[in-house]
Copies of this chain bind each other. A is one copy, B any other.
Amino acid sequence: MQLTIVNPNTTASMTRAIGAAARAAASPGTVVTAVNPDSGPASIEGYYDEALSVPGLLGEMRKAGRADAFIIACFDDTGLDAARSMVEVPVIGIGEAAMHMATLVAGKFSVVTTLAVSVPALEHNVLKYGFAHRCARVRACEVPVLALEDPASGARAKISAEIARAMAEDRAEAIVLGCAGMADLARSLSAEHGLPVVDGVAAAVKLAEGLVALGLRTSKVGGYAPPRPKTYAGGLGKAEA
């Protein structure tokens, strides 16, 4: 099975880390390819970065060759609906993946993401996915995305402190880590706090493998119908399935 993961930002070191996290989660026989676009923002922090990363993301999907499923490795699930319209195979966002998995092991979860600027976009996804009464709160630990890679940022301690607050104040029964860059912290934070801590990259790998094994593909009836034939000026939008 060929699983293509697109990190929609342009930071190659983060793409490598995501690829490693995905391979660690993948089943034998799953080939993971992790890519990122050349153009777009270096990290995705808020609506503006999200919007500007989508054409690059779709372009990488178009270049990807045959894939059995795609994963979008930004917790905002950037461009997810557009990506689903473009292809027939399953497309999973790491944000939705983590939330779905969390609701299978806990009544309520809280999200711990990077910056406050991303919280409204995530709350919006929570509402859209249906988890408004399953998600106790979306919290920010105020560590920028790229600082997660820097040991001097104190990121782990800040995330851990936010998890403690989520347990005390939100009565969270599980924690969803709200950034692809936090993938490697899930197990140790789970052990430290004694509750499930879900990383979206690994969660998305398992959901994508599952959908492929089940033969489930993106519905082409309704909102994910293929783009209608039309002119896309400026080299954008050559849609292929």
Tell me the A residues contacting B by CB distance below 8 Å. Answer: 10, 25, 27, 37-43, 45-52, 54-56, 58, 79, 81-82, 84-86, 90, 92, 96, 100-101, 103-108, 115-121, 124, 127-134, 144, 167, 171-174, 187, 190, 194-196, 198-199, 202-203, 206-207, 209-211, 213-225, 227-228, 230-237, 239
Contacts and interface: CB of A to CB of B under 8 A. Distances in A.
Nearest to A117: B225
Contact of A119 (B54, B106, B121, B222): B222
B127 A48 contact: no
B104 A211 contact: yes
Contact of A39 (B128, B194, B209, B234): B234
Contact of A206 (B38, B116, B213, B221): B213
B224 A52 contact: no
B211 A194 contact: no
Given A54-B54, A82-B51, A119-B171, A41 B223 contact: no
Contacts of A206: 206, 209-211, 213-214
A129 B106 contact: no
Among all A-B residue pairs, the 7 with the closest Cβ atoms: A39-B234, A206-B210, A120-B223, A130-B130, A51-B82, A47-B81, A106-B219
Given A52-B82, A133-B132, A223-B47, A231 B42 contact: yes
A174 B141 CA distance: 22
A130 to B, nearest CB: 3
A192 to B, nearest CB: 13
A150 B120 CA distance: 39
A240 to B, nearest CB: 12
Contacts of A120: 107-108, 173, 222-223
B221 A41 contact: no
Contact of A214 (B56, B96, B202, B228): B202
A236 B236 CA distance: 14
B52 A58 contact: yes
A170 to B, nearest CB: 11
B237 A40 contact: yes
Contacts of A196: 216-219
Given A48-B82, A52-B54, A105-B219, 18 more contacts: A40-B232, A45-B230, A48-B86, A48-B237, A48-B239, A51-B58, A104-B207, A105-B218, A106-B218, A106-B221, A107-B222, A119-B171, A120-B223, A127-B127, A167-B221, A173-B221, A173-B222, A203-B214
